[in-house]
Chains A and B, each alone.
Chain A
Amino acid sequence: MPAVSKGDGMRGLAVFISDIRNCKSKEAEIKRINKELANIRSKFKGDKALDGYSKKKYVCKLLFIFLLGHDIDFGHMEAVNLLSSNKYTEKQIGYLFISVLVNSNSDLIRLINNAIKNDLASRNPTFMNLALHCIANVGSREMAEAFAADVPRILVAGDTMDSVKQSAALCLLRLNRTSPDLVPMGEWTARVVHLLNDQHLGVVTAATSLITTLAQKNPDDFKTSVSLAVARLSRIVTSASTDLQDYTYYFVAAPWLSVKLLRLLQCYPPPEDAAIRGRLTECLETILNKAQEPPKSKKVQHSNAKNAVLFEAISLIIHHDSEPTLLVRACNQLGQFLQHRETNLRYLALESMCTLASSEFSHEAVKTHIETVINALKTERDVSVRQRAVDLLYAMCDRSNAKQIVAEMLSYLETADYSIREEIVLKVAILAEKYAVDYTWYVDTILNLIRIAGDYVSEEVWYRVIQIVINRDDVQGYAAKTVFEALQAPACHENLVKVGGYILGEFGNLIAGDPRSSPLVQFNLLHSKFHLCSVPTRALLLSAYIKFINLFPEVKGTIQEVLRSDSQLRNADVELQQRAVEYLRLSCVASTDILATVLEEMPPFPERESSILAKLKRKKGPGTVPDIEENRKERNANVNGGPNHTSATSNAKASPPSFVGDLLAPAPPPTNRPRPVSSASFLQNPLTPLPPQAYAIPLAASAGTFYQVAAPAAASSTDLLGLGSSTSLNSTPPAAAPPTAASLLVDVFSENSPPVSAPAHIAVPATAAPAADDNFSSITTKSFHVAESILADVQEPTDKFVCKNNGVLYENQLLQIGLKSEYRQNLGRMYVFFGNKTSTQFLNFASNVVCQDTLASQLNVHLKPVDPTVDGGAQLQQIINIECVSDFVEAPVLNIQFRYGGTLQNIAVKLPITLNKFFQPTEMMSQDFFQRWKQLSAPQQEVQKIFKAKHSMDTEVTKAKIIGFGVALLDGVDPNPSNFVGAGVIHTKTTQVGCLLRLEPNMQAQMYRLTLRTSRDTVSQRLCDLLSDQF
């Protein structure tokens, strides 16, 4: 590149810049700039032609002024003129000005493009370079449009100079990044690959970057690059350090190129050709060998370059994950770095080891470094390195060393940096759970965790410990004993009180035999903490107290005394007050039988993915948590960018917390300890019919709030009871719980469509107090129980199927259920696809559909039988035929049962068969529509609902949803164009129901008004509920 000669050093510019620098104040600077601008304007006026030099000088000054932060609104034309100059410096300044200042929508863009085209066509390499740099610097869509065809041509043309090729490759890379759709793939791609063989290493470096980016998008097109890259790499690696002259950096041969080549190879799986593969292995081995050699220079640049290549090689080895010897060698190499003086190296080593730990070949090798890593955790000064050490410990943990690692992490936790405490807590909790051989150790660990870092123990952690204690009979006694002992500490963390309250409330009877922990002692211990706790904890303790009344009738008096005290009964907090009132009443009124039923031990929680893991993932972002099994797969997907990747991760994220359980009989596991048993006769007790509306809200509210605090199974409280949306209440089927009570309750629920709101909640004590007779309290308590069984058992169908027919219905770690359905008039056919996500067979696979109560007469559902085994990774298709007899509200439940690895799995899913599926759209004219609208004017035929938009109010989306709902969308009927009007007929076997709907969005208020008129009131209501939840 020709240097700027002395004579070209524009003196006026230098003077101007020094003037600006000498300005004492901002004002003085602005004055100087104004003066200069006026001067330039007068020069550019066009009276006399300026010579190239002055033009260049003034454009330069303008550029400087612009870079100081002032607006420039002239001089563009002069800059463009400079482009056509033949002098390098003038052209360069012109291009500089253009790349900095010209925005893409400028009028001049055509002129500029023309100038660039000329330069590209010239044979002068420096001019071509300038033009290419300008294209890359501007990098706008317009540029890409104009030159997407030229740049590749220059890149692969045989007679192009090396330096130009280099620029062209990088320019193309930039265009490809900004507007990938505009860069055409064509025959040049094959020739680009051959640039890897180019003589000039600069060209190879630039081309490798380009190919890596392109290969990530279309791996197939660039497959040939693998062998070339390997060849090139081996040539570099084996060359003596002096061979490559310019490209040897502190005795390391072409480090940048090596790194790029290694990165390119990471886009592909290990080469299949044995020769290439052998050569690559050889290269990697050489790189590892070189790391062992004594350094050729003491300079930091030397070791930096060497290590850069080494780390990239190691990540390639990890990526391939096929050569055990290499993996182990890499691991050993990293082990050396773990003790290196350089903090950065230690950090990188820990980070790479984390990924190594997930490979089956090197897992053992990684484990040998456990002592070093633990040492790093303790002594490292930099918190980010300690963080990596924690990650690595987490990744290398398995059954053999879990106890040691957990113990180390716990001991480190006491001194850990505050920023990483929560994460360590989560990791300890996960490891303790995952590798617990005996659960007493698990309970000990978690309680210890709460003791050491109570503030950082999130809800999920203590929910989980309770889940596990409840699900495992063998630890319940031990857990009760341990928490009892832990609670005796004078000051204990609130989370411990929560766990203690819950566990003692459930299993206090297991340790009641010991006089040191007699019921009264237990109660007094808990109550001594009561006043120090926050409201939710107090609420939980109140629930524990009522459970005590059931467990230990002898303390009933004491507890009632506590409940009766003014500080409870008249507590300012509504929740506490309500609980106190209801529990007191319950304990006074109910017989021991009823109490025993109502305050039954919690049924075991359904097994599912640990919510803690989900939390950790959320905290660290996807992909960063080395989840031991999935990590590798995910990494592969990540690099390849294939479609698998997106679906895998999105599924992982979207999979809802599953309340899978046995729908039919959620009986608690038989236990042999003395516990009050309910009498069956209670179930048959006829319930005096009450005006249901009056109690519906209090019931729902109290049941909800009870579980919000009391049920640790709730990943989130809404998830459990769905208080946020009324549909989840409405559509919950009665399940298999006591039929009479359940149906009553469900009736009650389905009649109260508005979601439970705060005022209703406050009204509870008022309505509850006068009505506190036998019936009330039995209903209240019953509702707890019914709600529990319903909610724990049925997987809620997502609303997403209301407006569409296909999709994934359900997914957990084992099974994915997909749906495809079609409907005609009153008939429907549904294809259910059961995908086995594991590698083992499902045995005894069976499925059936249950229509509860009235639904059986409203809907005929027929399943075609299927094969009882599902192979690993296979998919099974089942056909369900549906006939709609009359209109219906509930949805049928699909029960699936299979044996996986010796355990019986039960899954219950609601089938998304809703009334609107049997719609036939009806087109009609405006006149017809209004005539029918008027005909359906009886008050019970119309249902109107005004509700807030849950999603953004996009017209097109709304249209699609209405059409998906099944009705015909009628344009031009409503005088207001923003409103939507639809019409359709619902076909059932018995009747046909005409239906008209109108949806009025209010953009300002973010509200909708939905009006439905049909000939049947039940249909109107149901359709309204279904549709209103979609927006």
Chain B
Amino acid sequence: MIGGLFIYNHKGEVLISRVYRDDIGRNAVDAFRVNVIHARQQVRSPVNNIARTSFFHVKRSNIWLAAVTKQNVNAAMVFEFLYKMCDVMTAYFGKISEENIKNNFVLIYELLDEILDFGYPQNSETGALKTFITQQGIKSATKEEQSQITSQVTGQIGWRREGIKYRRNELFLDVLESVNLLMSPQGQVLSAHVSGRVVMKSYLSGMPECKFGMNDKIVIDKQGKGGGTDEAGKSTGKQSIAIDDCTFHQCVRLSKFDSERSISFIPPDGEYELMRYRTTKDIILPFRVIPLVREVGRTKLEVKVVIKSNFKPSLLAQKIEVRIPTPLNTSGVQVICMKGKAKYKASENAIVWKIKRMAGMKESQISAEIELLPTNDKKKWARPPISMNFEVPFAPSGLKVRYLKVFEPKLNYSDHDVIKWVRYIGRSGIYETRC
């Protein structure tokens, strides 16, 4: 179990220090600072074992969050907790920065007391927490409210309180995906996968029961069989996707998912992440990068990169950025591009080419001449891959939301009265092409 939690700024000064167990001494704070933050070599492992004490850390901008334990804990649990902690803090006071943390340190200690008890993670649902940890300070609650808080914290549905009422029952559903790719110079896909999240924002009255449906291959196939016709199975099979693995928010009834593969749940109020999933098959790659690098003697390099968009012409990709690495001994760069803006950024050793918008089935090209300084170093340039960033308005995995039904038997609104919004956003993860 987690023995303690520390938050440091970028200099290694301790901002927050909370020790939950006696086996963690005060010197653990310094051990992490000395061995990780101030380490001579950059420490890349998120888990470090120093003097039989394990440190799990995550970094948010310049802030280090480190969980410490002497026991053999489930590392995934610890990291899940740390991420959750970040979410909670963001929900309370926005961006995690040194200043914000210093300004809210009372609140953070209060939160830490609540979400971690003797090192065991507790309810970390922002919605639930906000009901009894407020930034305004404590106002004396009535008996009723108190009992409500107790029943909610201890009850079966910890993530939603009763008696919520909205005039307009509204529901927002975002499918956020990030597509990762590694491609060979010849255009062969070396590895590709999509990791996606379904994020919901719900403003629903009462204790509604929801049911979420998507084009999961197993469900579709089952239905296809139920229908009895092979053709139906085929036609729908085209659009169905194979999900490799997925995780759900705690509100989802897992027993039902296991038996019927249907996703039904009572949603928390406000914003939350309903599920996370990963797919590796039949991924739509929104862009194709075609690099061409030619070395002209020892002091010159010619680079030509073509990008092709590969989706419906009616859709528009946004925030496109192509990053072309340059050798370490670059002494000068000339760039010519048809579209967007390109610039050599010496501080990052790369040419950055930005395009604001690009429609589907289009093509664009950049060419650069790189001058090199002859060095006495015999090492050859490693040629790092060309990477890309973008945002597209569809799900590269092919996931489609088929339905989201809301039932609230006690109150007088039906599925049709709920206003539902669905949005797909596909972003680039690590989208690289070797050159």
Contacts and interface: CB of A to CB of B under 8 A. Distances in A.
Decide if A and B are genuine partners.
Answer: yes
Interface of A: 24-26, 31-32, 34-35, 37-39, 41-42, 44-45, 69, 73-74, 76, 106-108
B331 A73 contact: no
Nearest to A69: B40
Q: Is the interface of B mostly helix, strand, loop or mixed?
A: loop
Nearest to B59: A25
Contacts of A42: 331-332
Contacts of B40: 69
B10 A24 contact: yes
B62 A41 contact: no
A73 B10 contact: no
Given A24-B10, A45-B332, A76 B347 contact: no
Nearest to A34: B347
Contacts of B346: 34-35, 37-39
Contacts of A32: 347
Contacts of B349: 34, 38
29 contacts: A24-B62, A25-B10, A31-B347, A31-B348, A34-B346, A34-B347, A34-B348, A35-B346, A35-B347, A37-B346, A38-B330, A38-B331, A38-B346, A38-B349, A39-B346, A41-B329, A41-B330, A41-B373, A42-B331, A42-B332, A44-B373, A45-B371, A73-B377, A74-B373, A74-B377, A76-B376, A106-B376, A107-B376, A108-B376
A40 to B, nearest CB: 9
Nearest to A25: B10
Nearest to A32: B347
Contact of A41 (B10, B331, B376, B379): B331
Nearest to B379: A73
Contacts of B136: none
Contacts of B371: 45
Contacts of A35: 346-347
A74 B332 contact: no
A699 B10 CA distance: 71
B74 interface: no
Given A26-B42, A73-B377, A74-B375, 11 more contacts: A24-B10, A31-B347, A31-B348, A34-B346, A38-B349, A41-B330, A41-B373, A45-B332, A73-B328, A73-B375, A106-B376
A790 to B, nearest CB: 52
A69 B373 CA distance: 21
A42 to B, nearest CB: 5
Contacts of B328: 37, 73
Nearest to A45: B331
A75 to B, nearest CB: 9
Nearest to B374: A74
A106 B376 CA distance: 9
A100 to B, nearest CB: 16
A44 B376 contact: no
Given A34-B349, A42-B332, A74 B376 contact: yes
A37 B329 CA distance: 9
Contacts of A37: 328, 346
Contacts of A73: 328-329, 375-377, 379
Contacts of A74: 329, 373, 375-377
Contacts of B375: 73-74
Interface in B341-377: 346-349, 371, 373, 375-377
Contacts of B376: 73-74, 76, 106-108
Interface string B29-43: 000000000001010
B42 to A, nearest CB: 7
User: Ordered nearest first, which 5 A-B pairs have the shortest CB separation?
Assistant: A38-B346, A73-B377, A35-B347, A31-B347, A41-B331
B328 to A, nearest CB: 8
Contacts of A34: 346-349
Nearest to B350: A34
A45 B370 CA distance: 12
B376 to A, nearest CB: 6
Contacts of A31: 347-348
Contacts of B62: 24-25
A29 to B, nearest CB: 10
Nearest to B332: A42
Contacts of B347: 31-32, 34-35, 38
A42 B333 CA distance: 10
Interface string B300-340: 00000000000000000000000000001111100000000
A37 B40 CA distance: 21
B272 to A, nearest CB: 32
A112 to B, nearest CB: 13
B163 to A, nearest CB: 47
Interface string B373-412: 1011101000000000000000000000000000000000
A24 B10 CA distance: 7
Interface centre among B10, B347, B371 (most CB of A within 10 A): B347
B254 to A, nearest CB: 41
Nearest to A41: B331
Nearest to A44: B373
Nearest to B9: A24
A32 B347 CA distance: 6
Contacts of A25: 10, 62
A212 B126 CA distance: 77
A541 to B, nearest CB: 39
Contacts of A39: 346
Contacts of A26: 42
Nearest to A31: B347
A74 B330 CA distance: 11
Interface in B10-24: 10
A73 B330 CA distance: 12
Contacts of A108: 376
Contacts of B377: 73-74
A35 B377 CA distance: 20
A109 to B, nearest CB: 12
Nearest to A76: B376
B336 to A, nearest CB: 19
A25 B64 CA distance: 12
A42 B348 CA distance: 15
B26 to A, nearest CB: 26
Contact of B373 (A24, A45, A106, A107): A45
A209 B119 CA distance: 64
Contacts of A45: 331-332, 371, 373
Nearest to A33: B347
A38 B379 CA distance: 18
A78 to B, nearest CB: 11
Interface string B265-281: 00000000000000000
A533 to B, nearest CB: 33
Contacts of B10: 24-25
A106 to B, nearest CB: 7
A389 to B, nearest CB: 34
A232 to B, nearest CB: 48
Interface centre among A31, A35, A74 (most CB of B within 10 A): A74
A930 to B, nearest CB: 50
A623 to B, nearest CB: 36
B63 to A, nearest CB: 11
A279 B349 CA distance: 72
Contacts of B330: 38, 41
A73 B375 CA distance: 6
A653 to B, nearest CB: 38
Nearest to B299: A45
B69 to A, nearest CB: 26
A992 to B, nearest CB: 63
A24 B63 CA distance: 11
A25 B373 CA distance: 29
A144 B134 CA distance: 75
B265 to A, nearest CB: 41
A37 B347 CA distance: 8
A73 B379 CA distance: 10
A44 B42 contact: no
Interface in B159-201: none
A491 to B, nearest CB: 33
